[in-house]
Amino acid sequence: MITDGDPTAAVVIFLLGVAGIVLWAILRWRKIGPELFPDSVQPDESPGVAQPVVGVQIHCASRLIERAAALLEEDDSPLARLGVDALRKFELSDEIAPAIDALMMKSRESASLESLMVRKDGSYAYVVAVPSRHEHAHLLRRYAPFAAGWRHHLELVRASLTANGTFMNMVAMLLFLNPEKKESVLQISCCDQGSVLIPSPLAERSDLNQAGLAVLDSSIEFNLTG
């Protein structure tokens, strides 16, 4: 079981091969995780679907965390400040960035959706790696866990965390990895117990009527190395 302030445990579990589902600091995730991340993925017949990539080495997560915090600092909203605080908290950990790098590498090599979650002092860092450039709402929906939209998925995760442990806030890093090693995209989301901030490309018309929702252009382009 992962404990507060012990991100090393999350990395150990990840390296042991449990990274196919979200790693979070609640023992009951083994029961709840499959409900949020079903094995089925909606088929994608469009051109450019990610193919397995062999021998990829990725070393950019620490820079992405820094850039994400800097981007959110430009926004004055409470949720953006919350995201900055959470990112700075996790930035201090030497284990988080290597775990995210490993997650991206696994996603590209297997051409599969991969995810990771770590808790520290009631804050959660939730990272999802998508093995293709599907960073718009209608494209992301083709993945079964996000079939109802990104906002809905975040609210499900938040509800599960709240029901199974101490939840203060969460910052989510959604990584869309270009299979051709060109520009990839990071999109940042934040939420607390009553509000959600999502990237504008993932906001749908139905989202805009939801109380507690904020939208921000929180996208960062980056290149994979290796």
Amino acid 55: pLDDT: 42
pLDDT of 144-193, one tens digit each? 999 999 999 999 999 998 887 778 899 999 999 988 767 899 999 999 99
d(CA 109, CA 31): 27
Residue 205 confidence (pLDDT) above 60 = yes
- Nearest-CA neighbor of 176 among 127, 225, 213? 127
Question: Distance (Å, rounded) from C-alpha 133 to C-alpha 130?
Answer: 8
**Mean pLDDT, all residues of the chain:** 77
Q: How far apart are CA 63 and CA 166, in angstroms?
A: 29
The per-residue b/e assignment along 122-141, b for 16 or more CB within 10 angstroms, e otherwise, is ebbbbbbbbbbbbbebebbb
Is residue 91 over pLDDT 90? no
Among 26-30, 82-86, 88-92, 104-108, the minimum mean pLDDT is found in 26-30
Angle of helix 96-110 relative to helix 61-73, nearest 10 degrees?
110
Q: Residue 36 has what pLDDT?
A: 67
Q: Output the pLDDT for position 72.
A: 93
Burial 37-69, CB ≥16 within 10 A → b, else e: beeeeeeeeeeeebeebeebebebbeebbebbb
pTM of this prediction exceeds 0.85: no
Does residue 10 have a pLDDT over 60? Answer: no
Q: Which two tokens stand for residue 112?
A: 């599969």
- What single DSSP character describes residue 145? G
- Name the band, by pLDDT with cuts 50, 70 and 90, for residue 92: confident
Q: What pLDDT is recorded for position 39?
A: 54
